[in-house]
Amino acid sequence: MAAGRSAKLSHSRSVRLLNSTLAGALICLLGLGCGEHGSRPASSGVEVYFSPEGGCTEAVVNALRQARKTVQVQAYSFTSAPIAKALVEAHRRGVRIQVMLDKSQRTEKYSEADFIQHAGIRCYIDDQHAIAHSKIMIIDTQVVVTGSFNFTRAAEQNNAENLLLIHDGGLAEKYLRNWKEHLKHSERYHRRL
């Protein structure tokens, strides 16, 4: 009886070790967790970045520089000057940019929403939720930028955040469908003077 039980335990440990090894290999193949702060850009798969000071902002800016046709943004907080600048540069290259922000971006002070609107980019406010907390970019209907990372300076320099760049057209289409559902109930942003 003890020998049979020992064999079962040994087999169980072997299965767990094999599953753990396979999971680790899959994570590395997808680019998740194979680098401390980030992974190399890929034409397919997933890139992962961490903050503070882990290159999240740079990864977003680089992804925007590669945009050729469209960028849809959904953001809770948006105060990152480098990301706003990259959006404006993409807009000037002829990329169709649309930005949807939480109602907290409607402020008395000059905000990134004002900066984006002033640059000629369509900006919308989603005020139908307690918080419109998504942090998403859909680039050329092929790349999804998402994670806990807000598009802010604090998220890059002070917070513990994560950012994923997912190169998957099928997944991007699902995010785009959800983005469009939120656009239906959002208002066009206009600076209130």
Which residue out of 133, 174, 185, 190 is catalytically annotated? 133
Closest CA to 74 of 192, 154, 186, 190: 186
Q: Which tokens go with 121?
A: 């980019």
Q: Which tokens go with 72?
A: 């849809």
Closest CA to 135 of 122, 146, 121, 124: 146
Inter-residue contact 133 to 157 (CB < 8 Å):
no
* d(C-alpha 38, C-alpha 31), whole Å: 9
187-188: strand order across its sheet: 45-51, 161-167, 143-147, 135-139, 70-75, 96-102, 122-126, 187-188
| 140 belongs to the catalytic site | yes
Q: What share of the chain is helix, strand, coil (3-state, %, to 5)?
A: 40, 25, 35
| 133 belongs to the catalytic site | yes
Which residue out of 91, 114, 126, 135 is catalytically annotated? 135
Positions marked active-site: 133, 135, 140
